[in-house]
Amino acid sequence: MYETIKTEQDGATFILTLHRPQKRNAINKQMQAEIFDALMKVRADASVRAIIVWGGPEVFAAGADLSEMRGRTPMQQFRPFNSLQVGDIWGAVASMLQPTIAAVSGIAVGGGCELALACDLRLASETATFGQPEINVGIIPGAGGTQRLARVVGLTKAKEMIFLGERIDASEALRIGLVNKVVPVGTLLEEAKAWAGKLSEKPPRALQLAKLMVDKGYDLELGAAITMESLSFASLFSTKDQQEGVSAFLEKRQPLFTGE
Active site residue ranges: 114, 134
Given a contact cutoff of 8 angstroms between Cβ atoms, the answer to whether 128 and 122 are in contact is no
Given a contact cutoff of 8 angstroms between Cβ atoms, the answer to whether 53 and 101 are in contact is yes
114: DSSP letter: H
Q: How far apart are CA 43 and CA 183, in angstroms?
A: 29
Q: Spell 141-174 as b/e; 16+ CB within 10 A means b.
A: bbbbbbebbbebbeeebbeebbeebebbebeebb
Give the amino acid at 259: G
Residue 116's alpha-carbon distances to 11, 67, 91, 171, 247, in angstroms, are: 23, 22, 12, 16, 37
Given a contact cutoff of 8 angstroms between Cβ atoms, the answer to whether 131 and 165 are in contact is yes
236: DSSP letter: G
Half-sphere exposure of 79 (CA within 13 A, CB side): 16
Q: What are phi and psi of 30, to 5 degrees?
A: -65, -45
Other CB atoms within a 10 A radius of the CB of residue 129 amount to: 21
Q: Is 152 helix (H, G, I), strand (E, B) or coil?
A: helix
Q: Is 61 helix (H, G, I), strand (E, B) or coil?
A: strand
**Which among 193, 192, 188 has a CA at the least distance from the CA of 11?**
193
